Amino acid sequence: MELAIEFTKCLEVVTGSKPSFRKRHNGFYIVEGYSKTLCELLVKPLDIEKLRKYIEYNEENITLFLRAFFDSEECVDKNGNILVHNTNLDLLNYFKELLLKLKIEVTGPHLHRMMGTPLYNREKR
């Protein structure tokens, strides 16, 4: 829930309008906002070079961007290792590059699924 609330606040700042925020019956949160510029920036396939000037504006921006990504994509295994799961190899390599710029040791990426592989929530509905 914290991630959804923070994303709602950030989206409001970026778009200049109030996004909708609601909880679904299955426990997931939905945040919806509209911005033509943001859509063009995040269109798939993701153009990392186009994003680079916004993300790497300064070290604080890099840190905030990494935090947002890790908040949504990471988990910690039983040995205390931080793992990131994403099927976009270019994106994973870019995050590795950003972490190394901040002098954070990184391994991988270690691919487990190919891009485009459907992922399913194992939680009972």
pLDDT of residue 34: 81
CA distance 115 to 12: 30
pLDDT of residue 97: 93
CA distance 6 to 70: 13
What pLDDT tens digit does each residue of the chain (125 aa) get? 777 788 788 778 777 888 888 888 787 888 888 878 777 777 778 888 888 888 888 888 888 888 888 887 888 889 988 888 777 888 889 999 999 999 998 888 876 666 666 666 665 54
Helix, strand or coil, per DSSP, at residue 31: strand
The structure tokens 């009972």 sit at 124
pLDDT of residue 13: 79
The H or E element containing residue 75 is strand 74-76
CA distance 98 to 17: 30
| CA 115 to the chain's CA centroid | 16
CA distance 8 to 16: 11
Closest to 102 measured CA to CA, from 49, 59, 67: 59
Long-range CB contacts (< 8 A, 24+ apart) of 13-22?
Answer: 14/38
Partnered with residue 32 across adjacent β-strands are 20
